[in-house]
A and B are shown apart, each in its own frame.
Chain A
Amino acid sequence: MRFSYIEPEFLIERDLERCIRCQVCVRQCAFEAHIYDEASDVVTADSNKCVGCLRCVTMCPTDALIVRPNPTSFKENANWTGRIIKNIYKQAETGGVLLTGMGNDRPYPIYWDHMVLNASQVTNPSIDPLREPMELKTYLGRKPERLDVTLKDGKVSLNTKLAPQLELRMPVLFSALSYGAISFNASKALASAAYEFGTYYNTGEGGLHRDLYQYGERTIVQCASGRFGVHKDYLQAGAAIEIKIGQGAKPGIGGHLPGEKVSSEVSKTRMIPEGSDALSPAPHHDIYSIEDLRQLIYALKEATRYEKPVSVKIAAVHNSAAIASGMVRAGADIIALDGIRGGTGAAPTTIRDNVGIPIELAIASVDQRLREEGIRHQASIIAAGGFRSSSDVVKAIALGADAVYIGTSALVAMGCHLCQICYTGKCNWGIATQDPYLEKRLNPDIAKERLMNLLRAWEHEIKEMLGGMGINAIESLRGNRLHLRGVGLTDSELEILGILPAGR
């Protein structure tokens, strides 16, 4: 089909008085939306090719460019919006599944924005974290039923053998972003930032590149349904192992790394032929029940001499609480819950936008269920899926999470502009690409510094918020839902979240 009915999503506007025809925009656009006409010495644009990544706008040395949504609109229609009509055109032209990248962008309620935090006033003192100690250190892993200690000559010794724990400087980790979906430089930046800061990053299902083994003690190695890159050294290299059952952006379906992104290095790391599509099955074909999950958990524990905690990651879905209970009983030391706003390098748009539940409700219901069953201490909960700020983290901890995975926030810190075209492999920011021309654009040293700055900033803010509540350790906030109040929520939402409405 030669003629498309789809109007450009963005318009590229160039201020010709400011344009110096330096062609930086031409060289930086992997989609070839900017064109230099040598005969007339002008730079023109083809807005049809623009994806709205803003690379050209950011790089233009004279601020001559504006990229804005195309104001051309269809006749107003509440049911048949422009987005819907364009999607139908796309499918009528291609006959294919609509693909997208990053997290759900639909206007589902964001419960973080409907929960407010408490602060101390008069009757209890708030704490100034700049003057008094404030503990954010977090341990993830199975906690003992009870502690058996001996007191002898005024010295206390611990007799209970503790299960392996992950030690985090603060309750934020980088979530699973596979090498393959993201560039080597992006992986290296995450690994080195986690290592230097004192938290963890997650390999996703991309295996561990040989140059990243040096960060092993700050790595969570993932074992997903495709088993890409999983071998003995890989399992032993990490500080923890995560079995990935599901992902918030695409619950119930597998993964698909297009062959174009399977470069020579990706092929070696994933242990698959170069240029071949890396297809992860929707389920693990050896896990059809909790009992099967237990077998894999213990196989991995055996393989690593019970020295590393094993995490199980699921997408937050309707019956997450019951599944989580089964996961804990199957031996998971950490449960990772990925909500409906969780990101991805590629997913069918219809799955991303319609499957799963918001992470806020999942944290509350899982934490509540595990408490009721008396097994909450047996596993830590990591919440994931759309965490945007330190206050989201604090609210998640108050709801009952032990720590939070950040993926999109980390990518944004590195330069991601959320244009959602990761699946094309043409990321102009050098993040979600394996193209040798593009991946150089992400300097891993700069990206590491930006990631560490983000973590440091959140660390300061979390301390300030805790101090305001009169709390001096993150431990005291965990599951402390009395510090949360709901604003503009229904009775059932308040009940599920386990919080009171503001004013009560």
Chain B
Amino acid sequence: MKRVYAKEEVCAGCRLCEIWCVVAHSKSKNIIKAFNEEFPRPLPRVKVEEFGPFSFALQCRHCKEPPCIEACMTGAMHRETPDGPVLHDPDKCVGCWMCIMVCPYGAIARDETEKKIASKCDLCQGEEEPACVAHCPNEALVFEDRGE
């Protein structure tokens, strides 16, 4: 399946991926409204990890055998097709955060803005490419199928 891959050697650490992720998951899809008028504001599902000059954007890897799906007791964390993205159903989520405990990448975040739930990348379902990839000014994120 197509996944988002980071090229850390050209990541400028600007965090525009995080910003556009918020916009993509906002109600208005308008960057100024999303940030200045929508409260609570959605969390970014991609996070730029930094260590000195080293940086890259990390989001759910959509593992082949996802520990989060196995650990989820309500079925909130699920796959719709065997090789589709790992998705999260907020209505089923009870906020036990077992997924966060088992995720080897630390790609799931706690969302306590409304009901206590998990927050993760959905690869911008329905869009041609995820917002983080589309808006990376340095093409440090690519969306491609590497046969993994």
Contact = CB atoms under 8 A, between A and B. Distances in A.
Contacts of A24: 14-16, 19
Nearest to B135: A61
B49 interface: no
A445 B19 CA distance: 24
A426 B32 CA distance: 31
Contacts of A20: 19, 31-32, 34-36
Contacts of B15: 22-24, 27
B9 to A, nearest CB: 6
Interface string B50-79: 001101000000000000000000000000
B140 A443 contact: yes
The 10 closest A-B pairs by CB, nearest first: A20-B35, A436-B53, A443-B10, A441-B12, A437-B53, A22-B19, A443-B138, A24-B14, A440-B10, A62-B32
Interface of A: 17-18, 20-24, 27-28, 59, 61-62, 185, 430, 435-437, 440-446
Given A17-B36, A441-B12, A441-B138, 11 more contacts: A18-B32, A20-B36, A27-B14, A59-B14, A59-B16, A61-B31, A436-B53, A437-B53, A440-B55, A443-B138, A446-B138
A443 B15 CA distance: 16
A21 B139 contact: no
A11 to B, nearest CB: 23
Nearest to A446: B139
B12 A28 contact: yes
Contacts of A430: 12
B10 A61 contact: no
Nearest to B18: A22
Interface residues of B, number: 24
Contacts of B12: 28, 430, 440-441
B118 interface: no
B48 to A, nearest CB: 9
A59 B36 contact: no
B20 A27 contact: no
A428 B48 CA distance: 19
Interface of B: 7, 9-16, 19-20, 31-32, 34-36, 52-53, 55, 135, 137-140
Q: Point out which of B12, B20, B52, B140 has the most chain A C-beta atoms below 10 A from its C-beta.
A: B12
Given A21-B35, A59-B137, A446-B139, A440 B19 contact: no
A436 to B, nearest CB: 4
Given A24-B14, A27-B14, A440 B32 contact: no
Contacts of B138: 440-441, 443, 446
Q: Point out which of B13, B32, B34 has the most chain A C-beta atoms below 10 A from its C-beta.
A: B32
Contacts of B137: 59
A27 B36 contact: no
B11 A440 contact: yes
Contact of A62 (B9, B14, B31): B31
Contact of A437 (B13, B34, B36, B140): B13
Contact of B19 (A17, A61, A443): A61
A441 to B, nearest CB: 4
Contacts of B135: 61
Contacts of A437: 13, 53
A201 to B, nearest CB: 21
A28 B14 contact: yes
Contacts of B7: 443
Nearest to A21: B35
Contact of A22 (B11, B35, B139): B35
Nearest to B34: A20
Contact of A440 (B16, B35, B53): B53
A413 to B, nearest CB: 16
A62 B32 CA distance: 7
12 contacts: A17-B36, A20-B32, A20-B34, A22-B19, A22-B35, A23-B15, A24-B16, A430-B12, A436-B52, A443-B10, A443-B139, A444-B10
